[in-house]
Amino acid sequence: MLIKLIRSFSSAHRLPQYDGACQKLHGHTWKAVFVIEGPIREDGMVCDFKVVKNLLDENLPDHQFLNDWVENPTAENLAQFLFKKIGTKLADMGLTLKTLEIWESDNAAAVVEG
C-alpha cells in the first residue's frame, strides 16, 4: 500500500556554481511530496499519519540555510540528500520511501524514485 504526505518548509540557499541571479542568497517556500510504501497493519494503517508527519518535519530543513546541509543545494541535490536521510529513517520503521518530489516553486520540481 502507498501513502502520500505533503509537507512544506522555508529555507534559503545560494547556488555557488550557477551563473545568474540564483548565485546570490535567496529563499523559497519548498513543498515536499513523499510517497511511502508499507504493509497495512492490523489497525488498518500503513503507519499513523501523525507519526510520519512528525518524522518528516523533524528532518526537513525548515528555516535553515541549505548550503549548510548540501554543498550545492540545487533542487536535485536537495531531493537526493533528503531521500537518503529520510528514507533511512523510514526504513528503520519498516517503511520504504518510494518517491520524493521537492518543489522549489509552483512550476519546478526535482523527483527522486527509489
Task: Give CA 69 to chain center in angstroms.
Answer: 13
Which of 13, 22, 37, 42 does the annotation list as catalytic?
A: 22
Active site residue 22: yes
Question: What distance in Å separates the CA atoms of residue 21 and residue 105, rounded to the nearest whole number?
Answer: 16
The verdict on whether 104 is a catalytic residue reads: yes
Q: Which of 63, 71, 76, 101 is catalytic?
A: 63
Catalytic residue among 13, 28, 47, 104: 104
Q: Which three cell numbers stand for residue 13?
A: 540557499
Alpha helices in 22-74 (DSSP H): 49-59
47 assigned to active site = no
Active-site positions?
Answer: 22, 63, 104
